[in-house]
Chain A
């Protein structure tokens, strides 16, 4: 399996989409951008033929302009469902603290077609891979993991913060920016020989996913792949996955 297929950069939500005159002048004239103020799916960026792909245009948020504009680019033919998924994700600057561009997937969950497409993209990829376990990382992994597990016939196993799971658990400590946290999994939920996916909404530094991989491997499962809706590539989380492949739908700035 490829490690990523047809990704596109996340854009700000349609509600915030502001396109300055200066930015527009930098675009090739062959590219047209029908920008609609509605939140419907038609308000998407239309690309011209693949040979005319521009390099991504980004404007970083300034103190006075809190919108974040990223033009979608693709390196190869991408799944036509991806643009709507990408634009359904809301980017919030400086949350929860300054410098963080928060990728809010709750707006994706409000777009029934985009949410369904998101699940379908994962299901299509994994349904014939004999996956027996979908491990979802608390809490946003609990939103995507169970529908995928149900569709592909796998068990769903929650990977939780400390002291939430009742009964016997195994724990794995992992690093945060400041300090550490712990992830727990139920003893007996996963067996040796299980083929597992790890699901979360987003991969940043990769610390959380790495902890999940370790827990699954400690009980003898084979981690087939990690799957996220969004990757923040600058944080290089992909390199922390102890060699496991990563599949994502959207790359965020």
Chain B
């Protein structure tokens, strides 16, 4: 595993099975991209559980009050981690999924805020309910994979705009260029394995 701080000295024996459980799909969604498919990991109960356990062991004593999961594959991992460490789960969603103001303009939990970002392939926009976080909250961001860091940067920005402190970003897979620095926009990054080539 790779992290800025507190990396264990010996290789965790669970990581080999985690790497092997990930399936590579060549040329998806377009030519040249070796897509790291984690759905095969979700089919292996022991490996899926080990993945969650590694994150839970890392975060359970850090006073984390928010686990923010990036739609949609962050949803596979985030809620289980949140439940295990006693944190709230906050979904960071694609546009127009989170209810904000309705047509009469009435306010509910608070407005939905948006942050645009550039992807490895394309661009998109991430949204969060402002009322879901508050100053004093300590947050981690979860996604399946970090490629350029664009999505995680948008997530960090949303949480900070809501007043939370982002403690770390956590992914199952991280592209190799993140290994040396292990950070995204100045925030620590933690990930378990590198991409498989085939």
Contact = CB atoms under 8 A, between A and B. Distances in A.
A75 B59 CA distance: 42
Contacts of B99: 92, 95-96, 102, 104
A242 interface: no
Contacts of A144: 79
A166 B76 contact: no
A54 interface: no
Given A94-B102, A157-B43, A146 B88 contact: no
A97 B103 CA distance: 7
A189 interface: yes
Interface residues of A, number: 47
B108 interface: yes
Nearest to B84: A147
Nearest to A61: B104
Q: How large is the interface on B (under 10, 10 to 19, 20 to 34, 35 or more residues)?
A: 35 or more
B89 A143 contact: yes
Given A139-B75, A164-B72, A167-B25, A154 B45 contact: yes
A51 interface: no
Interface stretch (A26-34, A105-113, A170-178, A221-229): A105-113
A110 B90 contact: yes
Given A150-B48, A157-B43, A163-B29, A112 B76 contact: no
Nearest to A163: B29
A219 interface: no
Contacts of A59: none
Interface of A: 13, 15-16, 63, 66, 90, 92-98, 102, 104, 106-107, 109-112, 115-116, 119, 138-139, 142-144, 146-147, 149-150, 153-158, 160, 163-167, 186, 189
10 contacts: A16-B108, A66-B106, A90-B109, A106-B132, A112-B88, A139-B97, A142-B75, A156-B42, A156-B76, A165-B39
Given A92-B102, A153-B45, A155-B43, 14 more contacts: A90-B108, A92-B99, A94-B102, A96-B99, A102-B99, A110-B132, A115-B79, A139-B71, A142-B76, A150-B45, A155-B44, A158-B39, A163-B29, A164-B72
